[in-house]
Amino acid sequence: MPPRPSHAEKWALCHGTHPSGAEEWQHVESSGSQPECWAIIPRLQLVEADADVMRTVVEGHRTTAYYRDGTKYVVEFTCLPDSVDPRR
């Protein structure tokens, strides 16, 4: 069983973006616990749709935006302790 985080540890909501196969992680928001972190995701998934987006598909914690020019942009949200670097 994985170790449980200490009460002082915050949980970070990060996402990896895959516009052209490239991967980028950003710290989006912090929460006090892992359940609180996962509860944040639904309100972040469909923020500010770009005018060039033809359609958006939400599957679990992944959102895919399909653009008029044929490209797609995938954002996958995850919750990690602040002490974890998702790039590793």
d(Cα 73, Cα 12) in Å, to the nearest integer?
22
Report the candidate in 24, 22, 25, 20 with the shortest Cα–Cα distance to residue 72: 20
Position 76 in a domain: yes
What is d(CA 38, CA 25) in angstroms, rounded to the nearest whole number? 17
pLDDT in tens, 7-58: 556 888 777 766 666 777 888 888 999 999 988 888 776 655 678 888 888 8
Q: For residue 6, is it within any domain?
A: no
* Structural domains in the chain (count): 1
Entry pTM: 0.66
Answer whether residue 40 is part of any domain: yes
- The answer to the question of residue 19 being in a domain is yes
86 versus 8: the higher-pLDDT residue is 86
Query: What is the residue range of 61's domain?
Result: 11-81
* Domain-embedded: residue 73: yes
Identify the CA nearest to 67 among candidates 59, 56, 58, 77: 56
Nearest-5° Cα angle at 33, 4 to 75: 105
Q: In this predicted model, which residue has the larger pLDDT, 60 or 46?
A: 60
